[in-house]
Structure 1
Amino acid sequence: MANALYLSEHFSELWQGKNPFEEVENITGDVYRELDGRTTLRFELNGKGYFLKIHRGVGWKEIFKNLVQLRLPVLGAENEWKAIDKLKSINVDTMTYVAYGKQGNNPAKQLSFIITEDLAGCISLEDYFLGMPVEDRGDAKAEGLISKLAESVKVMHQHGVNHRDLYICHFLFDPKKTESEQTLHVIDLHRAQIREKVPYRWLVKDVASVIYSMKEVCASNDQISTFTRLYNKGSGNQFWAAVMKKSDALLAKVI
């Protein structure tokens, strides 16, 4: 497992003559998530915001657990780095990375990191819906965002990318932009998978997760229909029956 390092011009100048893997460990900021082996934090540098994810190795126990469950384990930041490049290549809006590194040959102890630009001023689709009265959630702006959501998910899947945590909280947009200017950024890509073709079960999981999270914020039936109509690229009734069954099961867990 080869080591890797990418630094934008700014970070290359900032860390000239220094060890980037030591530098990221010294970064402090607002911690958003702290899990075994992974830390996500926001920090500022010269007045600009960034997000840092550090992966410190998941351990052999976690690797074997995933393999037994027929899942590929997430070993570090490489997944997110590759997924960002892939999404940009197919014109799906996402994050912009400014630094990435991977070090170590032992997959259980591999150290890796990725730094992305903060999407300043953006909010999630989930927060947008929850921040307005239920009766206003079917306005034209919301409909436009649902259309962009469907298009983003469809293009991702058509090009072999599945997210694995595809909830509307992972789609960000700038509420100050007009509908014609609007973009929808996919984030939190550390579990994303890239293949020639997305397997059926992962298509079902991704789409069911979107619909479940729409239902959770009381999106209207018309909006869910808008999503399914625009996403639908020849998917049959069996697919949609499986999607709705899974989305209802997810919803039942939180009720």
Structure 2
Amino acid sequence: MIWLSNTFSDSLERPWTKVDDVFAVEGEEYRNPEGANRRTLRFEVDGKGYFLKLHWGVGWNEILKNLLSLRLPVIGAANEWRAIQRLGELGVETMRLAAYGHEGWNPATRRSFVVTRELENSISLEDYCADWAGRPPAFAEKQRLIARVAAMTRRLHQNGINHRDLYICHFLLRQPWDGAEETLHLHLIDLHRVQLRRRVPRRWRVKDVGSLYFSAMET
């Protein structure tokens, strides 16, 4: 099964009809972590940038190891696809979906992918705040960023969502920003490990908040 947004599909020279077409896409490799069974590429269509995240079977050993550790394994791109849609419903700024697909019924061998539009003119909060120790920002600017990150995190947790990798490097700030609340756009990315349920257990809320605190300690 392959889903494509209309604008993205219309721009392709030949529409993707099977997952093999997607796995053959060439582009600039951004991530290919060893043993992670996923790969991230950047490519362009009609001058517009896209990110493609490919997933392939993690194997039954990895699935069983996670289950025995009382963790749900991430077995494909469907998790990120659902998370992006859910965040959009909640009004939390995130990535924009362009395509999604999967092949196979066996969770240990299934191949899948998700494509999102590139967030142009943006910088991670980690990079944006990197020199704050020596060159502190205006107090109001820092306060607005902290309030926005807190509001986004609260909205996730109140709606049964936890990120599991909630570091400030996963918040992208649209540039240029003049420091005003009205022009502040902050996008949450890297959602492949997000958990969706009715209520977030306390341990996972604490983990998200602890990750934020740890990653922002030096800013």
Answer yes or no: same fold by TM over 0.5: yes
The separation in 2 between residues aligned to 1:117 and 1:44, in whole angstroms, is 10
The separation in 2 between residues aligned to 1:172 and 1:135, in whole angstroms, is 20
Aligned to 1:204: 206
The separation in 2 between residues aligned to 1:137 and 1:74, in whole angstroms, is 38
Name the one with the larger helix percent: 1
- Per-residue deviation, residues 25-53 of structure 1 (Å, max 9, x unmatched): 12111111113310011111111011000
TM-score, normalization by structure 1: 0.80
- Of stretches 201-210 and 135-144 in structure 1, the one that deviates more from structure 2 is 135-144
Larger radius of gyration: 1
CA deviation after TM superposition for structure 1 residue 137, in Å:
4.3
Aligned to 1:22: 20
- Over 6 Å off, 4+ runs: none
CA deviation after TM superposition for structure 1 residue 17, in Å:
6.0
Aligned to 2:2: 5
Q: Against the structure 1 CA distance between its residues 60 and 15, is the aligned structure 2 distance closer, same or farther, given a 3 Å change threshold? A: farther
The number of residues matched between the two structures is 214
Unmatched runs of 5 consecutive residues or more in structure 2? none
TM-score, normalization by structure 2: 0.92
The residue type paired with residue 71 of structure 2 is R
Unmatched runs of 5 consecutive residues or more in structure 1? 220-255
Q: How does 1:32-71 map to 2 (within 5 A)?
A: 32-35=30-33, 36=35, 37-71=37-71
The residue type paired with residue 7 of structure 2 is H
Q: Against the structure 1 CA distance between its residues 168 and 17, is the aligned structure 2 distance closer, same or farther, given a 3 Å change threshold? A: closer
Aligned to 1:222: none
Q: Against the structure 1 CA distance between its residues 181 and 12, is the aligned structure 2 distance closer, same or farther, given a 3 Å change threshold? A: same
Q: Against the structure 1 CA distance between its residues 122 and 158, is the aligned structure 2 distance closer, same or farther, given a 3 Å change threshold? A: same
The separation in 2 between residues aligned to 1:98 and 1:164, in whole angstroms, is 24
Aligned to 2:149: 149
- Of stretches 28-37 and 153-162 in structure 1, the one that deviates more from structure 2 is 28-37
Q: Against the structure 1 CA distance between its residues 17 and 87, is the aligned structure 2 distance closer, same or farther, given a 3 Å change threshold? A: closer
CA deviation after TM superposition for structure 1 residue 177, in Å:
2.9
Q: How does 1:211-230 map to 2 (within 5 A)?
A: 211-215=213-217, 218-219=218-219
The residue type paired with residue 186 of structure 1 is L
- Per-residue deviation, residues 182-213 of structure 1 (Å, max 9, x unmatched): 11100000000011100111001011000110
- Per-residue deviation, residues 106-151 of structure 1 (Å, max 9, x unmatched): 1011000000000001001100011445341463222211111000
Aligned to 2:160: 160
Identity among equivalent positions (%) equals 48
The separation in 2 between residues aligned to 1:199 and 1:134, in whole angstroms, is 38
- Per-residue deviation, residues 71-117 of structure 1 (Å, max 9, x unmatched): 00000000100001111111111000100001101101100000000
- Of stretches 138-147 and 106-115 in structure 1, the one that deviates more from structure 2 is 138-147
Aligned to 1:128: 128
CA deviation after TM superposition for structure 1 residue 20, in Å:
3.8
CA deviation after TM superposition for structure 1 residue 57, in Å:
1.2
The residue type paired with residue 191 of structure 1 is R
The separation in 1 between residues aligned to 2:17 and 2:131, in whole angstroms, is 44
The separation in 1 between residues aligned to 2:107 and 2:210, in whole angstroms, is 31
The residue type paired with residue 22 of structure 1 is D
The residue type paired with residue 121 of structure 2 is G
The separation in 2 between residues aligned to 1:17 and 1:186, in whole angstroms, is 29
